A and B are shown apart, each in its own frame.
Chain A
């Protein structure tokens, strides 16, 4: 191994981060090369010098500032959760208590209409759960709004609640 190859390994050797066969080759080279011995010593001294430096201390109020920010974030998070749960519950109630109206896919508001007319909660709900009864095959409809094709199944409660949450996130 020549000096150039050893140089590439010296720092890692100081750190004990080279493979055993590389370490053996470096040792063999150092035994006969005073220049590389000096280089290795310089790397060790440099490492020791850096380790002797302590990090600068942060201001005394640092910890309190971090903890206060964390608490503030938690408070904000729990408030948002409360609003989301309340909105989800309201959305659920809207769906359950809605009067039975025969489902007609033609009467569903078009996306354009939704953007121009004020969106009621049901429209937003439909957008949130992305129900499309016009496609063929078994469908899932809201229990209060059967599509009349005899293939509807009630949406699971969890889906309704999730949909309510998505509705809530659309609103907030």
Chain B
């Protein structure tokens, strides 16, 4: 999904600086611009069935507003925003589930490169758009949370590997292998759907 957004007047960076100066409508523009994708990131991080998605997504924007004056522009707004989003998710997971069940698995498990399945996604192209989207979404939801996150940052947000590494606080090499493994896992899920 292409996410080329923002004009010269309304770049993310301009809006967040205006938000820091108390301009509520600038902050509202940022919320409007990123709400769905931030909420999706939260949903995929917490798990699709989590009841806390909307609350945590709201927490992300409240934190963004609270910290608006600390945005220095050294990293892009998106890098900054998604760092806050992931930290908010991690805080929530730590608070809610640390004692009851393990956190999302897979952070250290994806350094070994996964094999790619033998096959093609040609059958996907023959589906109607809505049907195709539903099938892919369901397949994505079966992936490990770190795989969903890295796919979103790369393929929806068009972030570079270096930016993703900054958001996830991992080396660029890990981003590279994790992204490969995420795509391999998604391809496996989708090819599996065609065989069913």
Which residues does A use to contact B, with CB under 8 Å? 7-8, 10-12, 15, 17, 38-39, 41-43, 45-47, 49-59, 62-63, 65-67, 69-71, 73
A39 in contact with B1 (CB, 8 Å) = no
- Shortest CB distance A53–B (Å): 5
A56 in contact with B40 (CB, 8 Å) = yes
A58 in contact with B121 (CB, 8 Å) = no
B160 in contact with A17 (CB, 8 Å) = yes
A46 in contact with B66 (CB, 8 Å) = no
B1 in contact with A66 (CB, 8 Å) = no
A43 in contact with B36 (CB, 8 Å) = no
- Shortest CB distance A67–B (Å): 6
- Shortest CB distance B108–A (Å): 18
Interface residue SS majority, chain B: helix
Given contacts A54-B1, A69-B62, contact A39 B116 (CB under 8 A): yes
Given contacts A58-B39, A62-B35, A65-B58, contact A11 B176 (CB under 8 A): yes
Interface residue SS majority, chain A: helix
B62 in contact with A70 (CB, 8 Å) = yes
Contact check: which of B37, B117, B133, B179 meets A15 at CB < 8 Å?
Answer: B179
The residues of B that contact A67 with a CB separation of less than 8 Å are 24, 27-28, 31
A-B interface, 10 closest residue pairs, ranked by CB to CB distance from nearest: A55-B40, A11-B180, A45-B121, A55-B36, A46-B187, A66-B61, A46-B183, A58-B39, A39-B116, A70-B65
Which residues does B use to contact A, with CB under 8 Å? 1-2, 24, 27-28, 31-32, 35-37, 39-40, 43, 54, 57-58, 61-62, 65-66, 113, 115-122, 124, 129, 132-133, 136-137, 140, 151, 154-156, 160-161, 176-177, 179-180, 183-184, 186-187, 190
Contact check: which of A42, A47, A50, A54 meets B117 at CB < 8 Å?
Answer: A42
The residues of B that contact A66 with a CB separation of less than 8 Å are 31, 35, 58, 61-62
Other than the given A42-B120, A50-B155, A65-B58, 9 more pairs (CB < 8 A) read: A10-B116, A41-B120, A45-B121, A45-B187, A55-B156, A56-B40, A63-B28, A63-B35, A67-B27
The residues of B that contact A39 with a CB separation of less than 8 Å are 116
Contact check: which of A12, A17, A38, A54 meets B118 at CB < 8 Å?
Answer: A38
In angstroms, Cα B43 to Cα A53, docked, is 15
In angstroms, Cα B161 to Cα A62, docked, is 31
The residues of B that contact A73 with a CB separation of less than 8 Å are 62, 65-66
- Shortest CB distance A41–B (Å): 7
